[in-house]
Amino acid sequence: MKTTRRIVAAMLSVLMLGAAFTGCGNEPAAPTTNDPSSAPVENNPTPDNGGDKETDDGKLKVGFAQIGQESGWRDAETASIQFYAGQNVDTIDFKFADAQAKQENQIKAIKSFIDMDVDVIGLAPVVETGWDAVFTEAKDAGIPIVLVDRMADVPEDLYATFIGSDFIEEGKNAADEMAKLLGNKGKIVQLEGTVGASAANDRKKGFEDQMAAEYPDIEIIASQTGDFTRAKGKEVMESFLKTYGADIKGVYGHNDDMVLGAIEAIKEAGLKPGTDVVTVSCDGVKGIFEAMVAGEANVTVECNPLLGPIFFETCQKLKDGEAVEKWVKSEEGIYRQDTAAEDIKTRVY
Site size for other proteins (CB under 8 A): 46
Q: Supply the minimum distance, in Å, between the C-beta of residue 287 and other proteins.
A: 5
Q: Supply the minimum distance, in Å, between the C-beta of residue 16 and other proteins.
A: 6
Task: Please work out, in degrees rounded to the nearest 5, the angle formed at the alpha carbon of residue 168 by the alpha carbons of 164 and 171.
Answer: 115
CA distances, 190 to each of 60, 119, 183, 244, 310 (Å)? 46, 45, 18, 13, 32
- Restricted to residues 65-84, the positions that interact with other proteins (CB under 8 A) are 71-72
User: Contact between 242 and other proteins (CB under 8 A)?
Assistant: yes
Q: Supply the minimum distance, in Å, between the C-beta of residue 314 and other proteins.
A: 30
Q: Which residues does 107 contact at the CB level (< 8 Å), separation at least 6?
A: 134
**C-alpha span between 52 and 281 (Å, rounded):** 50
Q: By C-beta, is 34 or 224 nearer to other proteins? A: 224
CB contact at 8 A, 283 and 303: yes
CA distances, 269 to each of 238, 242, 275 (Å)? 8, 8, 14
CB contact at 8 A, 291 and 263: yes
User: Contact between 19 and other proteins (CB under 8 A)?
Assistant: yes
Tell me the DSSP string of 188-207: EEEEE-STT-HHHHHHHHHH
Q: Supply the minimum distance, in Å, between the C-beta of residue 273 and other proteins.
A: 13
User: Contact between 235 and other proteins (CB under 8 A)?
Assistant: yes
User: Contact between 195 and other proteins (CB under 8 A)?
Assistant: yes
**C-alpha span between 236 and 189 (Å, rounded):** 10
User: Contact between 269 and other proteins (CB under 8 A)?
Assistant: yes
User: Contact between 227 and other proteins (CB under 8 A)?
Assistant: yes
Could you say which of 45, 58, 142, 270 contacts other proteins (CB under 8 A)? 270
Using CB under 8 A as the criterion, which residues of the chain lie in contact with other proteins when the complex forms? 5-6, 9-10, 12-13, 16-17, 19-20, 22-24, 26, 71-72, 192, 195, 222-225, 227-231, 234-236, 238-240, 242-243, 257, 260-261, 264, 268-270, 285-287, 290
